[in-house]
Structure 1
Amino acid sequence: MSLRVEQSLSQLLHEAFVSLRTLGKRSILALLGIVIGSSSVVALINIGHNAAVDAAMIFKDMGTDTLVVQFPAKGSNNVPMRTRLDLDAVRQAVPGIAHIGALTLFSGPIVFHGRTVNANFVGSTANIQHAMRLPLREGRFLSPFDANETYGVIGDQLAEALSAPGDPLQLGDRVRINDYLFLVVGILRDQPRAMLMPVQANESLFVPADGMRRIYATPQISNVIIRAAPDQDMERIAREAAIALSSQLTEHTVEIQVPQQMIDGMTRQSRTFAYLLLALGAISLVGGGVGVMNVMLMNVSERRREIGIRMALGARQRDIRNLFLLEAVTLTAVGALCGAVLGMTAAWLYAWLSGWQFSLAVAALPLGVGSTLLVGLFFGIYPAVSASRLQPVEALRDE
């Protein structure tokens, strides 16, 4: 029984390929429509997936265990922010904080051997290195003992900008800001841009927070960076840190950015974007399905006499229906496979041109190939049923 079924199926497949080959250019045009639709679904799902991954990586670069605190003024008052905060009290009040540091920001010209570059000046506490994950290329970072010293740690790109052929900026050199010379005690390693950080370390000079008065007459704390210990509830730490900092401030509110919340928001937004792209691909796929139905209807119209002969020789309605349905599915399957290859290639090329790291979306191939086969089956049903309902006598009258 199984051998008879296998022989029958192989015979049907052979007849389907022969019939599609005889259609010539019409079959190729229908196949092209399916390939375009299938490749659109596969490519757009992968592009949406890679866009979501790239967006999430931008925020993950700064670490999901890092919190950035801001201090906007309450209401319309213009009370300046404080110059000091008791960060040790915050650490003791909030279990789970590994590192906490404060930043005071200013910008202006910095001079080295007659070369002037605009830079960010960051007044920082000693613990900011670990809070911001600042890797050193040379030298050391600022320590608590450097509070009253004119020491500085310079970013890699700023050091390169101040250097010249044969005269690079090195450890032990002094850079001038206003009327003060700052000794370079450390040079940071080049690092990726951290989108959520209030300052880019590569383009900055870090000096002791107390020494910012030499650069700016009225320095104010602009941000506090908190880095949590491993496996902590970041939302809990954010709530408790906000309470602890608010107790020290009366004229300013405390706003804390939780990276994981932003990552989740970006993921939801990217998922919506992916659904939109999938809908566009589905529209293209439906257009290919209409082309398959048109070709199959023409195929039925041209083979009416053959259908009549088959029925006269004993073929049942379901045999005729299955024959034409198999032809539609076969045409669609070939288009789905070609479209999957083309779609993956297009998605990889788009990621490469965009500078993304390509990763395959798990649902891309199953959805792309599966939806294409379902479209071919759906649009092939009507021509197949129409062929099976032909009356043998009427079909045999056709020339």
Structure 2
Amino acid sequence: MPLGEIVREALKSQAAAKQRTILALVGIVIGIGSVIALVTVGEMVQLTSEQQFRQMGTNIITIQPGYGSPQGGNNQADSQPRQITWAEAQGLSRKVAGLEAVAPYTNAWGRPLMDDKPLDMPLLGVTGSFADINKLTLAKGRFVSDLDGYAFFGVLGAGAAAKLARMGIKEPLGKTVYFKNRGFKIIGVLKRVDEGGMRPFEINPGMMIPLQTSFLFKPERNINAIMARLKPKADRHRVKAAIERYFKGDLPGAGVQVRSAEQLIAEMAKQSRLFTLLLGAIGSISLLVGGIGVMNVMLVAVSERRKEIGVRRALGAMQADVKAQFLVESVILCLAGGLIGIALGVGAAYVLAKVNGWIFFVSGLGLTLGVGVSSAIGVSFGYFPARQASRLDPILALRDQ
């Protein structure tokens, strides 16, 4: 029997049993839509995260205090935080040749006040190179400078400026924010930057002050972390080793943690792949349920159409023709459900991307999975009903009323 004729007969049979067809479609639509949405969301999250790193450049590294024993041992009970001093941070660019720019910073949480109203914002003590390395853009005013020394100046992040705007302060430049009884004059406001990546999370909601000034609120002139940019063509591994040697000094068991953007991107990509596989596995459960639903609907169809099968066999149809018709019906059902599921899955992924600010794209893997898996389900779960239909005894089938 020609394939075209089999497809036409399959479509007629499905059109004649609309309720049964819709029930079979629902399970496949939900299953395929879930897989497409989950896989696409996983890939979008990975791409968005990687994009945040690449916006700053893959030649950025961070240096943070590590833990170690002053005696050089491995006893965790004796481990102590390795403090980074301001003097060490100043000498870093001179001692390590592969660094183009260095931006040490400190951070502190407090309750700054403006007009006697608490702001609950973090403070970052930074240098002038901090804005360059983090690619910060000013909305108005200027950024802090290394020449500011111990001046009480502040630059607001976009989130902090928005908070002041909600308090009725539309123009913060020139206003004074009080922190620990010291007044900081606002000299600049930053545009919003993407959070995540290598940037400190305090930038948007916080206020940046001169690094030297931040030492007035600390018992020691220590640095919380250092951001640095590598010179072009500098070997990341050699620079990392040189930094670790520099900070090791006379404390053989204590050092620093040096992490690069490339290293974090590789780790994040590995985690995202596992996350995407997990999401796909979760969505596959609904696919399995949908496939079982298709098989049950097709078994009901075989039971209801026993007389039709008997007539066809009596008129000369072969077992292969009957089997092919039911298999084609199953595949058509699953393909139609797959296409609808793809549309719904992509739509759900688009909504999630817009709500969360992710980069939206249509996953080629998701589309391939949608079409391929729906076809596979149609064949796999339609084979048993089709086989059962083809093996019906035509005489017994014709006797059914």
Tell me, yes or no, if the aligned pair for 1:151 and 1:185 is still in contact at 8 Å. Answer: no
Amino acid in the other structure paired with 2:151? T
TM-score (norm 1): 0.81
Partner residue of 1:30? Answer: 24
Call closer, same or farther: CA 1:80–1:182 in 2, change over 3 Å: farther
Amino acid in the other structure paired with 2:19? K
CA displacement 1:30-56 (0-9 Å, x = unmatched): 222222222222222223223333444
Partner residue of 1:311? Answer: 313
Name which of structure 1's ranges 66-75 and 320-329 shifts more when overlaid on structure 2: 66-75
Other structure's SS at 2:86 match: coil
Amino acid in the other structure paired with 2:210? V
Amino acid in the other structure paired with 2:100? A
Call closer, same or farther: CA 1:248–1:145 in 2, change over 3 Å: farther
Partner residue of 2:65? Answer: 71
Partner residue of 1:222? Answer: 224
Larger radius of gyration: 1
Q: Following superposition of structure 1 onto structure 2, how do residues 126-275 of structure 1 map, counting pairs within 5 Å?
A: 126-147=128-149, 149-150=150-151, 152-156=153-157, 157-158=159-160, 168-170=171-173, 186-194=188-196, 196-198=198-200, 200-202=202-204, 203-209=206-212, 211-230=213-232, 232-247=234-249, 252-275=254-277
Amino acid in the other structure paired with 1:247? G
Call closer, same or farther: CA 1:128–1:85 in 2, change over 3 Å: farther
Distance in 1 (CA, whole Å) between partners of 2:81 and 2:346 is 57
Amino acid in the other structure paired with 2:361? S
The partner residue of 1:349 within 348, 351, 358 is 351
CA displacement 1:230-284 (0-9 Å, x = unmatched): 5655444323222223338678521123333333333333322322222232222
Other structure's SS at 1:64 match: coil
Q: Does 1:326 align with 2:341?
A: no
TM-score (norm 2): 0.81
Call closer, same or farther: CA 1:398–1:215 in 2, change over 3 Å: closer
Distance in 2 (CA, whole Å) between partners of 1:326 and 1:162 is 65
Unaligned regions of 5+ residues in structure 1, if any? Answer: none
Distance in 2 (CA, whole Å) between partners of 1:277 and 1:165 is 44
Q: Indicate the percent of aligned positions where both proteins have the same amino acid.
A: 32
Other structure's SS at 2:258 match: strand
Amino acid in the other structure paired with 2:68? K
Distance in 2 (CA, whole Å) between partners of 1:108 and 1:379 is 62
Other structure's SS at 2:358 match: coil
The partner residue of 1:52 within 46, 55, 75 is 46
Call closer, same or farther: CA 1:248–1:90 in 2, change over 3 Å: farther
Partner residue of 2:3? Answer: 9
Q: Following superposition of structure 1 onto structure 2, how do residues 70-149 of structure 1 map, counting pairs within 5 Å?
A: 70-72=64-66, 74-75=68-69, 76=78, 81=83, 83-87=85-89, 90-108=92-110, 117=119, 120-147=122-149, 149=150
| Alpha-carbon distance, 1:384 to partner | 1.8
| Alpha-carbon distance, 1:370 to partner | 1.3
Distance in 1 (CA, whole Å) between partners of 2:110 and 2:395 is 94
| Alpha-carbon distance, 1:371 to partner | 0.3
Distance in 2 (CA, whole Å) between partners of 1:123 and 1:288 is 57
| Alpha-carbon distance, 1:376 to partner | 0.8
Partner residue of 1:284? Answer: 286
Distance in 2 (CA, whole Å) between partners of 1:160 and 1:299 is 62
| Alpha-carbon distance, 1:100 to partner | 0.8
Distance in 1 (CA, whole Å) between partners of 2:278 and 2:170 is 54
CA displacement 1:6-36 (0-9 Å, x = unmatched): xx33222211111222334223212222222
Partner residue of 2:375? Answer: 373
Distance in 1 (CA, whole Å) between partners of 2:3 and 2:161 is 73
